[in-house]
Amino acid sequence: MTASSGHQDASCSRIAALPVTSGLLDSVVAIPNLLSLDAPLVAISWQWLLWTAFHNSFTSLQPSQQTLANSHFAPLDAPTTIALFASVWLIYMADRLLDCRRLNFDLAVSPRHRFAHRWSAVLWPLWSLIFIAVGCNLLLHLRLPTILAGGVLALVVLTYNWTIHGSRTVRRRVPKEIIVGCVFACGTSLPTSINQLSPRLVVSTCLLAALFSLNCMCVAMAQRPSDATQGCTSTVLMFPGLAHCLPLFATSLALLATSLFLLAIVPQQLAVCIGLSAMALAILAIQIRRDTGWMNAMRSSQLADFALLTPLIVLFASP
């Protein structure tokens, strides 16, 4: 072990074990990331925003049309939201726990993976219990179209996990950050698409897929030293020049969302939140590139998911 890797290892251990020692702000950022709670929070935030934005589009209809439309637009109830939150947590936590099987913890490892490895004896039984609870929730409370559509997404996720964790050769050729972004976007738009699958929703989902992919690539950019040391791959390592282009891509996405709103293709609330999140990711990407230490870059990357919580602004600003 080199001196630098030993320093990184010790830093990772301190952050994974005692995030509160870095101050209240660091704890607020680190704890949800360590527990894999940040991604589920992002998922239900955008799920709510999509459903609200497209449901509100009915207000421009005639009263008779509104009655007919609302009869087909099922409410976004608690079981649906809980199912998405828990499903995303299950996917992300399983991914981390499976990653731990092939990581060398004597080298630099991200704090969230070190945490998952340290507490795997607790996390695997907890994961199993939540998996059973989610299955019962799906069968007892969700509508059949939602279950079927969720089943299709589940097959995609299983295929992804087999590809990433089962085949080393295929894993090195798959741009996993883009795949994760697309699947994540489809999952958040699932309740709305079952109610109203329209070209506007498809375009909105594509914008979200681009935004979520950018988020994943910002994290991958911060993890480049660790991934390279561990022999892992990512879209950023596959295309080295991509890291320098992320701020430009994020800014372009914000401009595209604004243009599509002006063309009445994307709802206003959605365009605003995508634009704000994209610009926040652009700033983060620049900061990660400027960070001199690997752990500094990792701490910056922990803010990437918080940059996607802009729907909460709309939630609290709504009358």
Please say whether the beta carbons of 146 and 194 come within 8 A: yes
Write phi, then psi, for 104 (nearest 5 degrees): -95, 110
| 266 pLDDT above the threshold of 70 | yes
Q: Residue 223: helix, strand or coil by DSSP?
A: coil
Average pLDDT value for the chain: 82
Report how far residue 68's alpha carbon sits from residue 231's, in angstroms, rounded to the nearest whole number: 56
Report how far residue 243's alpha carbon sits from residue 249's, in angstroms, rounded to the nearest whole number: 10
Q: Indicate the pLDDT class of residue 236, thresholds 50, 70 and 90.
A: confident
CA 130 to chain CA centroid, Å, is 19
Handedness of CA 222, 34, 86, 70 (dihedral sign): negative
Global pTM value: 0.84
Report how far residue 25's alpha carbon sits from residue 4's, in angstroms, rounded to the nearest whole number: 26
Closest CA to 274 of 297, 254, 304, 245: 254
Quick one: pLDDT at residue 6?
Answer: 47
Quick one: pLDDT at residue 319?
Answer: 61
Least confident among 2-16, 123-137, 182-196: 2-16
Give 36-80 pLDDT, tens digit per residue: 999 999 999 999 999 988 877 654 444 444 444 444 555 677 888
> Angle, nearest 10°, between helix axes 199-222 and 294-301?
160
Quick one: pLDDT at residue 4?
Answer: 41
Closest CA to 290 of 276, 279, 301: 301
Report how far residue 228's alpha carbon sits from residue 8's, in angstroms, rounded to the nearest whole number: 14
| 14 pLDDT above the threshold of 70 | no
Please say whether the beta carbons of 221 and 288 come within 8 A: yes
Please say whether the beta carbons of 16 and 27 come within 8 A: no
9 vs 93, which has greater pLDDT? 93
State mean pLDDT over 122-145: 89
CA 136 to chain CA centroid, Å, is 24
State mean pLDDT over 213-231: 88
Q: Residue 72: helix, strand or coil by DSSP?
A: helix
What are the residues whose beta carbons fall under 8 Å from the beta carbon of 13, sequence distance 6 or more? 114
298 vs 113, which has greater pLDDT? 113
| 287 pLDDT above the threshold of 60 | yes
Domain boundaries, the chain: 3-225+240-307
Please say whether the beta carbons of 39 and 46 come within 8 A: no
For residue 36, what is the DSSP state?
T
Give 112-124 pLDDT, tens digit per residue: 999 999 999 999 9
Give 15-40 pLDDT, tens digit per residue: 344 333 345 556 677 889 899 999 99
The CA–CA distances, whole Å, from 124 to 56, 99, 119, 224 equal 41, 13, 9, 27
First to last CA, the chain: 57
State mean pLDDT over 83-108: 91
